[in-house]
Amino acid sequence: MSEASNNYGAPGIAERLSVLRSPQTAPTSGVSKTPNRGKAELLIGVIVVLASILLAFLFRGGNKSPAITADSVLSESTVVDSRLNLMSGEALVAVAINPGNFPPSIAPGDTVRVVVTPGSDGSGTVRSLKEITVVQSVTAPTDMNNQFVITMRSEESIATAIAASGPVHLAIVKGKEL
């Protein structure tokens, strides 16, 4: 059987090899190879990176709480003591409280009663502390925590009762202010 082509049907091996060996030019598809295309791609890449960095800074949020140093704590406590005129036996007590464990309308100046619950080990009972406290400040939850921080002015014994208990609840009551 001969590999020669008779111009009928498929070409023979020799013709196929000669076509492969001859230099061929690539067909132009309308896409021009310009040096500006590389520059444009680089520019787009830089813009995407800069936009990503900008978005990261915007969505990261800032540090909402100031840095605490030994000097700032000392100066803040001095200011608080002089402003509130704490009496002997009184204390400022800060309590982290979950939403729902206090009236949502609670505000500085409200007179409240503290209700303590058993600790995580189950020791203790639910009881209302007899001492009345006055709310000094209410701090909303941060991004990292879902608890409110409520600072109260009260007798020192309240601080130990709260520290020895589990979750704390507050109830607004009428009473004399401290």
pLDDT digits (tens, 9 = 90+) for 24-36: 766 665 555 566 7
pLDDT at 169: 87
Q: Are 93 and 151 in contact (CB under 8 A)?
A: yes
Strand order in the sheet with 168-172: 90-97, 148-155, 127-139, 111-116, 168-172
Number of domains in the chain: 1
pLDDT at 34: 60
Tell me the backbone φ, ψ of residue 113, rounded to 5 degrees: -110, 135
What domain range is 150 assigned to?
88-172
Kindly state whether residue 24 falls inside one of the protein's structural domains: no
pLDDT at 70: 46
Average pLDDT over the chain reads 75
Kindly state whether residue 18 falls inside one of the protein's structural domains: no
pTM: 0.50
- What is the tens place of the pLDDT at every residue in 39-98? 888 889 999 999 888 888 777 765 554 554 544 444 444 444 445 677 888 888 888 888
**Residue 156 belongs to domain with CATH number:** 2.40.30
Read off the pLDDT of each residue in 8-15 and give the average, rounded to a whole number: 72
